[in-house]
A and B are shown apart, each in its own frame.
Chain A
Amino acid sequence: MSHGNNAAEQVLRSSGVDVRKCMRCGKCTATCPAFDEMEYHPHQFVYMVEKGEIDKLAASPSIYKCLSCFACVERCPRGVEPAKLVEAVRLAVIRKQGMNHLATDAIPALLDEEMPQQALVSALRKYSK
């Protein structure tokens, strides 16, 4: 557990994840479609949150590379829900004022004809406060 580490406790609380349930099977990481893009993989999120290494996770691009597809959540045999940890770390970072990964103004430049409206909305939800 996070031995009194505040950041870790906040992540645990806001995600509602019980990291102790993880049996280190690696099925989440075996499933993750964003594996190649991510520095830390879903099973590492679980283990590192348990160890209290939130700073490393918060500084990693992994928190934005995760597709929020929830495949890891769906497949975990122990009901651990790793993606909720990714989301919680991301949220903790974004909630610090001015830390938006994507500024609203920057979006028009990124737009593309093919992009579905839904993707836009979910990007805003995911990457900004």
Chain B
Amino acid sequence: MQRIGVFVCHCGTNIAGTVDVVAVAKALGQEPGVVFSTEYQYMCSESGQQLMRAAIREHKLTGVVVCSCSPRMHEATFRKAAALEGVNPYMVEIANIREHVSWIHKDMAEATEKAVILGRAAIAKVHLNAPLQAGESPVTKRALVIGGGIAGIQTALDIAEAGFEVDIVEKSPTIGGKMAQLDKTFPTLDCAACILTPKMVDAAQNEKINIFAYSELESVKGYIGNFKAQIRRKARFVDETKCTGCGICTEKCPQKKVPNEFNMGLDNRRAIYIPFAQAVPKVATIDANYCTMMKTGKCGICSKVCGTGAIDYTQKDTVIEREYGAIVVATGFNPIDAKVYNEYGYMDSPDVVTSLELERLMNAAGPTNGTLLRPSDKTHPHTIVFVQCVGSRCDETDERGKPYCSKICCMYTAKHAMLIREKYPDTDVYVFYIDVRTPGKNFDEFYRRAVEQYGVHYIKGQVGKVVEQNGKLHVQASDLLANEQLHIDADLVVLATAIEPDKTARSLGTMLTASMDTNDFFTEAHPKLRPVESPTAGIFLSGVCQGPKDIPETVSQASACAAKVIGVLAKDKLTCNPCVAHSDELLCNGCSSCEKVCPYGAISYSDKEFRGPNRTTLIRRVASVNPAVCQGCGACTVACPSGAMDLKGFSNKQIMAEVDAICK
């Protein structure tokens, strides 16, 4: 029989204003096993804890019930206090009589009755509680960052700064992400490359950072502190250790007709290429889909001109295996495909471009060397129309669009409009907007500058259609404030297309058992209080993969993410939550029901020998739970048809005892 102490908290008037705490303490004092019962103003205060500790000593308590606020608030406080007196922390139970009682009831008699009932349930549970010991697992002191955009780079630099090793796995031939493609950046208008490339070089030179570019994650096993990852290093057909990045091969390659993805297909590159001058690693890559040598066996020019003999047409993918203590997802985003918006004529005219294409058309290293020219006839556009919210903020019934605001387009369009008006003052710039959303430090001022100093025409309304007519783009739009329909003959139309998570995010999420929302953005463990952690232990989130963000926000989140990763890597051992599932091998029939529902991949099966009748042995497949991976969600205990799965600290028996106490 347990010796249980009950402590009823007033929480000032928070509880005592609605619950007769004296009556509750008295009623619960009558329960079997309860040897001490009292109430107090603030149980969580230092003196409240002292009171509890004194009672444990004096009455030799083996179990404690605190009737107070939600266990999310102070369960840890009371467990620690009990542990200081030698009572196992898992012998402490909380009855939540604040959020579940005083805050939601008005009538004192009713509230008091409910508080007593919840207290009884907690007492019934403590009777069945057993001391639990938290286990420990070691930590591999290396982090994996998936995605080498500004988010991944910043997180890696910060982790390395703290002295830990980091690997960056980037699927494209270079790190840098979308920021490398931008021209100038709001709100300060500094050149993207000027602030990004030093960071790329830092990452490359940092001896704690390994960059696996042109690589993808193949598989991940394990759990926080102990991940094992297989990384596929895709064949570049160029030996990274020999290539000096001189670029001679990219000049001599005769295959000149490959759409250049770095310039958004606005010009062509060769079959062997280095995406841009400051690429990291600065190594050439052969695009096997276009290389004549790979396709027909004839050519080999790059191999002939390469001074270091780096070209290797027979190179194969290799798969390496590495161990990590923590994994960071930094897979970023892409603009949605503007093709589906045929009313804007994206497929009909090359002069209808997306905002990211415009970045390349304005970039000094872009296809026009930074002079803004229409893609169709390479002339200066004199009238430019920007269309906001293309594919953002749509109803869920709209198959083409996304329900969220993409957050960055209002600002980058103000930037584009301003830069164009600055460089080409003879250009008329119209921006059709639904709302102008510019919260952020110096952001609204930035937008107002576009209107007031640069004379950009902001029009509240939308573009209905764009039709090519005699070399012009006929734009039909609404001006809601004037209640007019406008007809503008434009030279260039720019679509601020919505952004969406990288297409690989969904499969990556499945591989990592990291949850994501319906839009494929990774979900954070708590939207306010744990914004850079995935609910899956050991998986962290950095940058736009978690939700739309600009660069300042991405970098802040990337550093926050690094801090969380460092918190894991700095530990030699991790304490595991002892409230994990375990299966009773005698009851388990190996049906796999539990494995299918476990969101964390904690359950595996093995064949075990059991003694059968008449000295025979039986081999049976039974489930076992890896306690380091199990998060104690309890899904398996419900799914198990034979009642073999149970959760420590929340066993079926304990829960039924609570239910019985409530229904009594």
Contact = CB atoms under 8 A, between A and B. Distances in A.
A44 B395 CA distance: 19
B343 interface: yes
B480 interface: yes
Contacts of B485: 29-30, 32, 35-36, 41
Interface string B441-479: 000000000000000000011111100000000001111
A65 to B, nearest CB: 14
A79 B480 contact: no
A31 interface: yes
A16 B390 CA distance: 26
The size bracket of the interface on B is 20 to 34
A30 B462 CA distance: 6
Contact of A26 (B394, B395, B397, B478): B478
A31 B343 contact: yes
B483 interface: yes
A75 interface: yes
A41 B395 CA distance: 21
A13 interface: no
A29 B480 contact: yes
Interface in A30-51: 30-32, 35-36, 41, 43-44
Contact of A23 (B393, B397, B476, B479): B393
Contacts of B464: 27-32, 71, 75
Contacts of A75: 343, 464
Interface string A53-76: 000000000000000000100010
Most buried by B among A23, A27, A78, A79: A27
A78 B395 contact: yes
Contacts of A80: 395
Contacts of B343: 31, 75
A25 B462 contact: yes
Contacts of A24: 434, 480
Interface in A68-112: 71, 75, 77-80
B274 interface: no
A78 B476 contact: no
A77 B398 contact: yes
Contact of A21 (B389, B395, B460, B465): B395
Nearest to A71: B464
B367 interface: no
Interface residues of A, number: 22
A52 B206 CA distance: 66
A79 B395 contact: yes
Contacts of B479: 26
Given A26-B460, A32-B485, A43 B478 contact: yes
Nearest to B475: A30
Contacts of A25: 389, 434, 461-462
Contacts, number: 66
Contacts of A28: 464
A46 to B, nearest CB: 12
B393 A26 contact: no
Interface in B389-419: 389, 393-395, 397-398, 401
Contact of B434 (A23, A31, A44, A79): A23
A21 B398 CA distance: 12
Given A23-B393, A23-B434, A43-B478, A30 B463 contact: yes
Contact of B480 (A21, A26, A35, A36): A26
A31 B479 CA distance: 12
A58 B54 CA distance: 80
A19 B434 CA distance: 17
Given A23-B434, A25-B434, A75-B343, A30 B395 contact: no
A41 B485 CA distance: 10
A30 B434 contact: no
Given A25-B434, A32-B485, A77 B461 contact: no
Nearest to B388: A25
A26 B484 CA distance: 10
Contacts of A79: 395, 397-398
Given A24-B434, A25-B434, A78 B398 contact: yes
Given A25-B434, A77-B398, A43 B393 contact: no
A29 B395 CA distance: 18
Contacts of A36: 485
Contacts of A44: 483
A43 B483 CA distance: 10
A25 B392 CA distance: 12
Given A35-B485, A77-B395, A26 B461 contact: yes
Contacts of B465: 30-31
A75 B476 CA distance: 13
Given A30-B463, A32-B485, A36-B485, A43 B397 contact: no
Nearest to A43: B480
A26 B479 CA distance: 8
Interface in B265-284: none
A71 B477 CA distance: 14
B435 to A, nearest CB: 8
A29 B394 contact: no
Contact of A30 (B394, B398, B461, B483): B461
A77 B478 contact: no
B476 A31 contact: yes
A103 B291 CA distance: 72
Nearest to B477: A30
Given A43-B478, A44-B483, A78-B395, 8 more contacts: A25-B389, A27-B478, A29-B480, A30-B463, A30-B465, A36-B485, A41-B478, A79-B397
13 contacts: A25-B462, A26-B434, A26-B460, A27-B462, A28-B464, A30-B463, A30-B464, A30-B478, A32-B464, A35-B485, A41-B478, A43-B478, A79-B395
Listed from nearest, the 5 A-B pairs whose CB atoms lie closest are A30-B464, A31-B464, A26-B478, A30-B478, A27-B462
